């Protein structure tokens, strides 16, 4: 009997190896349903093998079922508490949920298990970056580099951290180290060039951008970077040549048209400057849509070009148009239109305000929020991300981005991250708690949904009518606990009574 059992175990192990490889092949091909089917069978015949549970967990994660994925990873950890990858997989699950403190906790546990494991410290650094703890992120990356000084990923990531901290000398040194290790990476040379440009070290920035161009000679972006630094150095004729080459490769490259117009104007070639400036405005000559051109600046260049050709009426027209674009006036007009639900018109004026003040987070936030109301969600997301890049602590932009991501439906996990970020910035933000509640309701996680709903009401969320019309709550509409919470904080519904629990 024992011999038969042993033979069966061996057969299961052989089959398990085949099924394990098949599961991973299906995961790589993103065939989640098939991967789940095979993975479940794999676990059923090799229940005590940790990697079987990991494979099934990865399939669940691909299918966007984080709860079942976590169960699998925890089971693998239970079977093998010394495998650092199991800790990191649970850390990744936390990150997907927006639980960055949890991500940090599990990643830190992984470093305790294996103190020299680079992936563990990368996870620690990533969590700290998401939490805005740049110093702690830098410390984690430095630990990697002490063990592996030639880790390019760590060099690059640390360079970005230093750049965000305005430690430009340190950022330059890290990018230098990275390009020495991987000299064929054009984007790394460009990162080095941008850092040196911010340091006003234009000569070395030019060298870095030229190296990037050497590696990618047909990339218009690389040509533009060389031209841009030459323009800053007032080597105007050379700059013009690079902008022209960039435009030959990409005739719609608005920034290249703009800089070409600027360089030609500085050279006194006003007719040519006018043509380049018109090209910068080509897709939006009336400056209605700030995202399509450089509106204000290109019009200014065009006016100067006309003036220097003694075309005074045309020049006056350009400058008169710009005078109308006073930032606060445009913004307040947009705000007034928005309050009247005239969203298309409001977008136009918000964009005009941003032509004058492109780094104003409030302007960016209101533009993004208004685009969201028009269901122009991809545009809204891009604008709101810009607002956050300008001011990472601007909670309104974080909240409006969360709303946009939630509207997309396919981005619910990222929406949760954003709502949690809002709560980190303002723990009493009732609408952020309500947003989390809605996502959990859609996911069918009743307990979490009701918890956050109650918390939002406790923090001041109002509007029973809104909640009762919100389709996110359709699954719980007749739930006794749901209705009891509404009755408790908002009073019984008009013409109705609180429902008794079964």
DSSP 115: T
Whole-angstrom Cα distance, residue 267 to residue 301?
13
Whole-angstrom Cα distance, residue 57 to residue 8?
26
Radius of gyration of the chain (CA): 28
Q: In the chain, how many domains are there?
A: 1
Whether 472 is in a domain gets the answer: yes
3-class SS of residue 278: helix
Whole-angstrom Cα distance, residue 189 to residue 206?
10
Whether 488 is in a domain gets the answer: yes
**Quick check: 55 and 39 in contact, CB under 8 A?**
yes
Whether 274 is in a domain gets the answer: no
Q: Which positions ≥6 away from 221 have C-beta within 8 Å? A: 190, 246
Whether 87 is in a domain gets the answer: no
Q: What is the pLDDT along the chain (502 residues), one digit of tens a residue?
A: 444 445 555 665 676 788 889 989 999 999 999 999 999 999 998 899 999 999 999 999 999 999 999 999 999 999 988 889 999 999 999 999 889 999 999 999 999 999 988 999 999 999 998 888 999 999 999 999 998 888 999 999 999 999 989 899 999 999 999 999 999 999 999 999 999 999 999 999 999 999 999 999 999 999 999 999 999 999 999 999 999 999 999 998 988 998 999 999 999 999 999 999 888 878 766 655 544 445 667 787 888 888 888 888 888 888 767 765 567 778 888 988 898 999 999 999 899 888 878 899 999 999 999 999 999 999 999 999 999 999 999 999 999 999 999 999 888 899 999 999 999 999 999 999 999 999 999 999 999 999 999 999 999 998 888 998 999 999 999 999 999 999 999 888 665 544 333 2
Q: How far apart are the first and last CA of the chain?
A: 53
Whether 461 is in a domain gets the answer: yes
Per this entry, what is the length of the chain? Answer: 502
H helices, E strands: number in the chain: 28, 0
Q: What is the pTM of this model?
A: 0.51
Whether 475 is in a domain gets the answer: yes
Whether 480 is in a domain gets the answer: yes
Quote the pLDDT of residue 332.
Answer: 84
Whole-angstrom Cα distance, residue 5 to residue 234?
82
**204-240: b or e for each residue (b if 16 or more CB lie within 10 Å)?**
bbbebbbbbbebeeebbbbbbbbbbbbbeeeebeebb
Whole-angstrom Cα distance, residue 489 to residue 479?
16
Whether 137 is in a domain gets the answer: no
**Quick check: 127 and 111 in contact, CB under 8 A?**
no
Quote the pLDDT of residue 281.
Answer: 79
Structural domain that includes position 465: 428-502
Quote the pLDDT of residue 352.
Answer: 84
Q: Which positions ≥6 away from 218 have C-beta within 8 Å? A: 249
Quote the pLDDT of residue 433.
Answer: 96
Tell the residue number behind the tokens 């000299």, with chain if given.
183
Quote the pLDDT of residue 291.
Answer: 44
Tell the residue number behind the tokens 């545009």, with chain if given.
379
Look at residues 103, 199, 119, 131 and name the one whose alpha carbon lies nearest to residue 159. 199
Please give the structure tokens belonging to residue 228. 């841009």
Quote the pLDDT of residue 358.
Answer: 87
Quote the pLDDT of residue 17.
Answer: 86
Tell the residue number behind the tokens 């008794």, with chain if given.
500
Whole-angstrom Cα distance, residue 108 to residue 469?
44
């Amino acid at each position: 009997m024992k011999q038969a059992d042993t033979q069966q175990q061996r057969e299961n192990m052989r089959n398990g190896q085949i099924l394990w490889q098949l599961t991973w092949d299906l995961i790589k091909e993103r065939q989640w349903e098939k991967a789940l089917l095979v993975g479940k069978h794999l676990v059923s015949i090799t229940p005590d093998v940790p990697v079987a549970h990991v494979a099934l967990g990865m399939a669940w994660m691909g299918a966007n079922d984080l709860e079942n994925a976590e169960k699998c990873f925890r089971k693998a950890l239970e079977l093998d508490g010394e495998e650092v990858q199991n800790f990191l997989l649970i850390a990744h699950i936390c990150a997907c949920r927006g639980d960055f403190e949890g991500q940090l906790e599990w990643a830190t546990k992984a470093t305790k298990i294996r103190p020299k494991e680079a992936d563990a410290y990368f996870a620690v650094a990533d969590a700290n970056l998401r939490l805005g703890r740049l110093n702690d992120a830098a410390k984690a990356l430095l630990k990697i580099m002490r063990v592996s000084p030639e880790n390019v990923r760590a060099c690059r990531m640390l360079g970005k951290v230093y750049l965000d901290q305005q430690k430009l000398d340190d950022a330059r040194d890290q990018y230098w180290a990275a390009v020495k290790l991987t000299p064929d990476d054009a984007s790394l040379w460009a990162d080095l060039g941008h850092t040196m440009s911010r340091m006003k070290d234009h000569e070395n920035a030019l060298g870095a951008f030229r190296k990037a161009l050497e590696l990618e000679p047909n990339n218009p972006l690389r040509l533009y970077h060389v031209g841009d630094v030459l323009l800053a150095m007032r080597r105007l004729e050379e700059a013009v040549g690079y902008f022209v080459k960039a435009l030959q490769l990409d005739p719609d490259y608005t920034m290249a048209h703009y800089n070409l117009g600027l360089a030609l104007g500085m050279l006194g070639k006003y007719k040519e400057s006018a043509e380049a400036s018109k090209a910068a405005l080509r897709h939006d000559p009336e400056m209605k849509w700030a995202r399509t051109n450089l509106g204000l600046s290109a019009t200014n260049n065009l006016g100067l070009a006309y003036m220097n050709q003694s075309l005074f009426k045309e020049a006056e027209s350009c400058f008169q148009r710009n005078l109308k674009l006073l930032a606060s006036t445009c913004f307040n007009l947009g705000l007034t239109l928005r309050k009247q639900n005239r969203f298309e018109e409001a977008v136009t004026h918000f964009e005009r305000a941003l032509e004058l003040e492109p780094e104003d987070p409030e302007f960016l936030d209101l533009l993004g929020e208004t685009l969201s109301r028009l269901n122009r969600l991809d545009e809204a997301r891009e604008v709101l991300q810009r607002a956050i890049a300008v001011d990472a602590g601007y909670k309104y932009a974080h909240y409006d981005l969360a709303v946009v991501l939630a509207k997309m439906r396919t981005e619910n996990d990222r929406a949760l991250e954003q709502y949690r970020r809002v709560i980190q910035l303002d723990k009493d933000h009732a609408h952020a708690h309500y947003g989390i509640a809605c996502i959990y309701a859609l996911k069918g996680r009743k307990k979490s949904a009701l918890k956050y709903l109650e918390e939002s009401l406790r923090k001041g969320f109002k509007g029973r009518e809104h909640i009762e019309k919100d389709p996110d709550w359709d699954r719980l509409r007749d739930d006794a606990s749901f209705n009891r919470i509404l009755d408790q904080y908002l009073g019984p519904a008009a013409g109705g009574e609180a429902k008794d629990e079964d």
